[in-house]
A and B are shown apart, each in its own frame.
Chain A
Amino acid sequence: MKKFNKNIIVFVAVFLFIGFGFTSEYIQSLKTAVYDLIFEDIAGGNGEWLSNFSENVEQIPSDELRYHKQLLDVDSLKQNVLNTRIIVKDDATLLKTDTGSIIWSQKKYLSDEALDESIERIGQLQNFVNSHDGEFLYVAAPFKGYGLSLPENAEDYNETNYDRMLEKLKNANIPTLNLAALMKAEGLLNEDSYFETDHHWKPEAGFWATGAICEELFERYGFDYNRDYTDLSNFHIDTYKEWFLGSLGRKVGRYYTPGGVEDISLITPAFETNLTDKQPLKEQVKEGNFKESVLYMENIEGMNHYYQNPYVVYSGGDFRLQIIQNNLNTEGKKILIVRDSFACVVTPFLALNASEVHVLDVRDANYYYGDKLDVYEYIREIQPDYVLALYAGASGVTDSDGRYDFGDLAAAS
């Protein structure tokens, strides 16, 4: 009797696996590509019909396959077993530190010219703020990776770019809060301050940074703030265990880091609060206590590692304009903060010590609702007491994320 060919099992298993991978989204994307091919390109006499079709099909993302996330997890396990510490993706190079935390490699050494351009922009903003009776502070947060133990073959200019930028800010006499130096002095510049699988710092670090900002504003400008509101012992901390797979973990899979999915803290005041959180461009208003207003609980309720971002339970995420009013401190200071996403875990706590915190995000990306606002125009309009620019890491002006596009200075002057 002929021996049974075991490769039949392989073939059947593989093709069942392939078949199971098709989701309605994937099939719909295919149908769209075929529809465009027949009814748009061929019917329209477009000579590029085949290259258009192949491009459309090639661009159907593999994350429309049913088990895409599970495939990422399988790949992450493989990378972990092989001790891979540098993962090259289409859009990023990720590094694993000695303790297993993932960081986003900053592969570009910023030239002096690039940094000088940034300093010039920041200096212009500072001068404008001062000329409108406000005070300015640049808050430099260390991007994850600064001071951490990287693989010896890693290419990362995070630390050197940051240090050089801080030196230039100092030389330009721009009021700056160097959080890296402060964190280092307080023994906080380590992996514990950052998520393992995300590029952001933890809420605890953001909370601490808020206190540091308040203290700096106090020392420089006599900012009167309630130190109880920057003391963590006056807050409840609810820990969501194994709840959070960060931005970098979602790129590589759940099993790449030793801890896998990680905990995230929800820090809420143990004292009375009453705030109003507005997003004028969306005509959205939330009012109530801290949790009801500045926390966006839908981002943390119902655990979903790949499709949820619990980090943005704080502030809700990145918006062109967000205004937080403290209804229990109507006589306090008005603060404008131009920021990146490291401020998500800062602005809610900062609002406890201000009457209003206005948040502007001028970075370039396609996920924002609405166009970026002109910071200069906005300053003229609201006349803030303090203007903060809070950014992680260092960046040039060109070939960057647009963080220093503060607007049309000439028009505003």
Chain B
Amino acid sequence: MLFSSVPFIYLFLPTVLFFYYVVFRRSRNLQNIFLLAASLFFYAWGEPKFVLVMMASIVINWLLGLLVSKYKEDKVRSRLLIGVDVAINLGLLFVYKYLSFTGSIINAVFGLDLAIPQIALPIGISFFTFQAMSYVIDVYREKGEVQKDIMYVGLYISFFPQLIAGPIVRYETVADEIKNRKETMDDFFDGFARFVVGLAKKVLLSNSFAILADKAFESTELSAGFGWLGALAYTFQIFFDFGGYSDMGIGLGRMFGFHFLENFDYPYISTSITEFWRRWHMSLGTWFRDYVYFPLGGSRVKKGRMVFNLFVVWFLTGLWHGANFTFIVWGLMYFVLLVMEKLTGFNKKEGKVLNVVKWLYTMLFVILGWVIFRAESMEYAFYYIKAMFGLNGNALVDGMFTGYLKQNAILLLFGILLSTPIVPTLKKKLGSHVLWDVVSVVGLIGLFILSVASLASSSYNPFIYFNF
């Protein structure tokens, strides 16, 4: 079930709120059981069979969490249990996400003809396996109390606001809130407002950019201008899609008293790749930092080892996004840039003109990175990038470029403006004025109606992070 859908907005959310806040209001236990049931139902709605995979993941990680806690004084045993937990979780991910990819590589490299099973990918498996591992590891690190009641582990792993598209919630973030959260009116209503903002980003912005991006990326006679326009459109599409979904997840979490960490912090204002990855998909970046990079030694090692550690992290980051060489190359592109920045300190240099140059450099590689990320194959990625620089013999501009530019000028303007912190800046300056309150209330209601209008008119509604 998508958040941006009529069944969710009109049926699921009101029903869940009613049962949580009215029917079960007197019992935290019943509220949590209900949320768990609702979350499993939410997942099963789109994936009836794969809900069993998630339930198996809950059971296994709960058991291993208990064992890790029991043997926490025995370092050897507890580390072994962590190893088993990681192996099972990653094994699950491997089978569903990477088995076919691996099989095709083996066939290609060794000239074999092994039968490659085509296994359907459970929605959100990359998110919930990482969350599951986070639980057991955080128990081991004593950053959260072990849950003897499987229901709490189940709720942590499967909670519907962040289940299928993140943010990846660390166990330590919500460990206490699972049992001891305090729902407040401000959290509830502000959370709802956040949900509306996220819905508008996804439906009104991302879906519109998607039409333009898809057109460019299916083109076989791509002009340079249309190539850049398409790449820019995808840059906005993925930000407003993923960022919008994170807003919705964070907002929904707040409505139930949970406080998830922010996932995006205006990444497109970054003046270095280092800064970009501190602003983009922060929950994933910090997960890899804390569970992979630091355990490998981080940067407190010799330079060569640090480079190796970065290589591992960025190879895995790319691979996490999908079973395709495009994602691996995308991740390794960032590895190269980050190493360059770390070794030269380029990202730390300041200056008015230099900052502009740094921003241009950052956005150039971010956009090119998205082209690789979006392409179906490395071959197409090369074709597309060559077209962007006029190297494929096609026109520099054509009717597709001028037509789509004219028809999307206002949308592009919104995309640029809303990629910057213009709204929080205005809020800081004007937030105490009554007019601001009026405008924001009317604006939010208007955005909701516009979003529902867009959904009701059966407009294009893709979701690109769905299969991660």
Q: Check A89–B459 contact: CB distance below 8 A.
A: yes
Shortest distance between the CB of A119 and any CB in chain B (Å): 30
Among residues of B, the one whose C-beta sits closest to the C-beta of A22 is: B10
Chain B residues near A14: list those with CB within 8 A: 192, 196, 445, 448
Among residues of A, the one whose C-beta sits closest to the C-beta of B255 is: A11
Partner of B45, one of A30, A50, A63, A74: A50
Q: Check A72–B457 contact: CB distance below 8 A.
A: yes
Among residues of A, the one whose C-beta sits closest to the C-beta of B448 is: A14
Chain A residues near B457: list those with CB within 8 A: 71-72, 75-76, 89, 251-253
Stretch in B121-129, B406-414, B419-427 touching the partner: B406-414
**Which one of B7, B441, B445, B453 has the greatest number of beta carbons of chain A within 10 Å?**
B453
Given A62-B455, A72-B453: A13 touches B445 (CB 8 Å cut-off): yes
Chain A residues near B408: list those with CB within 8 A: 82
CB-CB contacts below 8 Å: B1-33 with A: 1, 5-7, 9-11, 14
Distance A193 CA – B453 CA, assembled complex (angstroms): 32
Q: Check B14–A82 contact: CB distance below 8 A.
A: no
Distance A76 CA – B459 CA, assembled complex (angstroms): 11
Whether a CB of chain A sits under 8 angstroms from the CB of B456 is: yes
Chain A residues near B449: list those with CB within 8 A: 17, 71, 74
Partner of A5, one of B5, B185, B204: B185
Whether a CB of chain B sits under 8 angstroms from the CB of A410 is: no
Q: Check B196–A10 contact: CB distance below 8 A.
A: yes
Partner of A151, one of B208, B211, B407, B441: B407
Q: B-facing mask of A56-74, CB < 8 A → 1, else 0?
A: 0110001101001001101
| Total A-B Cβ pairs within 8 A | 130
Partner of B192, one of A7, A22, A71, A152: A7
Q: Check B450–A74 contact: CB distance below 8 A.
A: yes
Given A72-B457, A74-B453: A152 touches B48 (CB 8 Å cut-off): no
Chain B residues near A11: list those with CB within 8 A: 188-189, 192-193
Distance A403 CA – B415 CA, assembled complex (angstroms): 45
Q: Check B14–A15 contact: CB distance below 8 A.
A: yes
Whether a CB of chain B sits under 8 angstroms from the CB of A131 is: no
Whether a CB of chain B sits under 8 angstroms from the CB of A6 is: yes
The size bracket of the interface on B is: 35 or more
Partner of A82, one of B1, B192, B196, B410: B410
Q: Check A152–B450 contact: CB distance below 8 A.
A: no
Chain B residues near A239: list those with CB within 8 A: none
Whether a CB of chain A sits under 8 angstroms from the CB of B46 is: yes
Whether a CB of chain A sits under 8 angstroms from the CB of B399 is: yes
Q: Check B196–A86 contact: CB distance below 8 A.
A: no
Distance A153 CA – B45 CA, assembled complex (angstroms): 39
Distance A62 CA – B48 CA, assembled complex (angstroms): 24
Partner of A78, one of B7, B14, B193, B450: B450
Chain B residues near A113: list those with CB within 8 A: none
Q: Check A75–B453 contact: CB distance below 8 A.
A: yes
Whether a CB of chain B sits under 8 angstroms from the CB of A144 is: no
Q: Check A7–B411 contact: CB distance below 8 A.
A: no
Whether a CB of chain B sits under 8 angstroms from the CB of A413 is: no
Shortest distance between the CB of A41 and any CB in chain B (Å): 12
Distance A51 CA – B6 CA, assembled complex (angstroms): 17
Partner of B456, one of A75, A81, A90: A75
Interface residues of chain A, those whose CB is within 8 Å of chain B, are 5-11, 13-15, 17-18, 21-22, 30, 48, 50-51, 54, 57-58, 62-63, 65, 68, 71-72, 74-76, 78, 81-90, 151-154, 251-253
- New A-B contacts (9) at CB < 8 Å, excluding given A62-B6, A89-B457: A8-B185, A17-B448, A50-B45, A71-B452, A72-B453, A72-B457, A85-B403, A87-B459, A153-B407
Instruction: Supply 21 A–B pairs (Cβ within 8 Å), ascending by A.
Output: A5-B189, A8-B185, A8-B189, A10-B193, A10-B448, A14-B192, A15-B14, A21-B10, A22-B10, A50-B45, A54-B1, A57-B11, A71-B456, A72-B457, A74-B449, A75-B459, A78-B454, A82-B410, A83-B410, A85-B403, A153-B403
Q: Which 4 A-B pairs have the closest CB atoms?
A: A153-B403, A152-B399, A7-B189, A152-B403
